[in-house]
Chain A
Amino acid sequence: MDREFAYSYNNYVKYGNGWKDMNPISKLTIAVCLGISSCVIQRWQFGVVLCIIGTLMAVYTKIFRKYLRSLLAIAIPLLLLTTILRQLQYAHTPGFTPLFNLLGWQWYKEPFIMSMNVAWYIIGFSSVLLNYFLNTEMKDLMLALENRGVTHVASYIMLSSMQSIIDMKKSADTILESQKARGIETDGNLIVRMKAFFPTLGPILLSAMSGTEEKAIAMDARAFSHEGGHTYLRVLRPVPVWEYILDALAVLVMIGSIAYAVLRAMQRI
């Protein structure tokens, strides 16, 4: 047995990475505040800055490939869609500055900036949240929330629901594999795959439901409903002062963004 691993539980939860080791709630505060700021300011410059920060963080925390894949899946369709829609929306509106002509389709500067503002505030928002979720173990977040008074029942529901999704996917794969073995077509175009997938939903849901009862018994056998104080094998490190300062700065950025947005709106009026 790896005793070193066993005794490592005597220490605080540690990943050896400044951002990852931060308290999940502190990280969430920063991510949410910056995300809200991006939504409130709605300027492409702010979105781009957030995106650059998010990308640098992703490189630092070694999640760059995962992060980039998810971000591009959001960013590319969003940029294309908003740009084209805005150009179409304002195609016949007079007074806009011509930008360039694309095969007879005249593009204008102002709708282009509008579309960039919309797309980049969403990309910026997504960037910080992606960074958060890819760098935070859900069990750490729930542990941090339990430390702040969330019940272990709520925490269990959340975590086991997430595991159930993984289990259900495994069940679906198993059923699809067995269908394949029986000669039913499961690969091919979307319609073929959907035709193979939908009949599996019934068995998947039924097996998930039948397992629930035994799972409840198993948890009861592990004193889940014991009312005395719980202890924890994994313990998060106490929140250092600098994390509070970072959180406060993030809140200030959010407040500043809201003030900026309000002032801008008042100027328009």
Chain B
Amino acid sequence: MAFIELKNVSYKYPYTKEFALQNLSCSFEKGKFYGIIGENGGGKTTLCNLIRGLIPHFYLGKLTGECLIEGKDIRDWDTAELSSKIGYVFQNPFTQISGIKSTVFEEVAIGLENLGVPKDEMIERVINVCEQLDIGHLIKNNPNELSGGQRQRVAFASIIAMDTETLVIDEPTSQLDPEGTENVFKIINTLKHSNKTIILVEHKIDLIAEFCDEILVMEDGTVAFAGPTHEVLTKRELLQHEASIPEVAKFGLAMEDAGKHLSSIPVTMDEAYRLVKERKGR
């Protein structure tokens, strides 16, 4: 059974005329890494808000259809209970810092304090997460005085420290440099191997292609395409939609158009290298 299942969900924010989600149906299985891509205003963040329970508990508005988390309707979940099951990291690093802690170490521990984790365990978990996210050198700093990228990593660390089964991550790398972005993806990938379900909204398609198991392409509040990463990102139709596809996939399709077929369309650099090498050897 799917861990999260949405059936014909439509949602309209309060005081708006347009539906942010329209007749959306999709499901998420445990332990998989999902990437959500699509144009701006396509409903990606709204979908995250729904899965995290902010809709309908925080944002009222009009919600129809069914959104089931572990078979229980989202309307019946208690948000506090949900916060210990589904972690949420969002775009803006400046509002994700609690503002009440004076060191990064304390900031990372805030969720654990709220969950009532014993102090010894709390310290160990915070140390591990800080090392994992390479923010160990920041632990004494005041989180309110960090740069955007550093704050984003601290916010990310405080959610990872909570060790939730599922992570909903909405553009975590928007404030990070290429190296920081790659590090975050590696961390997310490590989390995937610890059997966590990850739902990631991201525009960096090359990284999505490299790490995600499945992809959802969102358009006008609904899922335009969904399926295994390779299958989705090699669809020609995607080029007509505003969602971007990896450069190597465009290259593969261009090769195909030129009658110089590769044995399959690549979606990652490594794959492209292998396929080109293979074609050369033919």
Q: Which residues of A contact B (CB under 8 A)?
A: 1-3, 5-7, 9-10, 137, 139, 152, 156, 159-160, 163-164, 166-167, 211, 214-235
- Determine whether the beta carbon of B123 is less than 8 Å from that of A10: yes
- Determine whether the beta carbon of B115 is less than 8 Å from that of A223: yes
Q: Nearest chain-B residue to A157 (Cβ)?
A: B100
**What residues of A have a CB within 8 angstroms of the CB of B140 in the complex?**
2, 5
The distance from the CB of A132 to the nearest CB of chain B, in whole angstroms, is: 19
- Determine whether the beta carbon of B112 is less than 8 Å from that of A231: yes
Q: Which of B80-121 contact A (CB under 8 A)?
A: 80, 83-84, 87-90, 92, 94-102, 105-106, 109-120
- Determine whether the beta carbon of B137 is less than 8 Å from that of A218: no
- Determine whether the beta carbon of A222 is less than 8 Å from that of B110: yes
Known: A10-B120, A222-B159, A223-B84. A211 touches B95 (CB 8 A): yes
Q: Which residues of B contact A (CB under 8 A)?
A: 52, 54, 58, 79-80, 83-84, 87-90, 92, 94-102, 105-106, 109-120, 122-123, 126-127, 130-131, 136-137, 139-140, 144, 155, 158-159, 162
**Which of A152, A160, A221 has the largest number of chain B CB atoms within 10 A?**
A221
**What residues of A have a CB within 8 angstroms of the CB of B101 in the complex?**
139
**Which of B58, B96, B136 has the largest number of chain A CB atoms within 10 A?**
B96
- Determine whether the beta carbon of B158 is less than 8 Å from that of A230: no
A120 to B178, CA, bound (A): 62
A157 to B94, CA, bound (A): 18
Known: A223-B83, A226-B80, A234-B106. A217 touches B88 (CB 8 A): yes
- Determine whether the beta carbon of B139 is less than 8 Å from that of A231: no
The distance from the CB of B165 to the nearest CB of chain A, in whole angstroms, is: 14
A to B CB contacts below 8 Å, 8 in the list: A1-B131, A3-B127, A214-B95, A220-B58, A223-B111, A223-B115, A225-B79, A232-B119
Q: Nearest chain-A residue to B53 (Cβ)?
A: A220
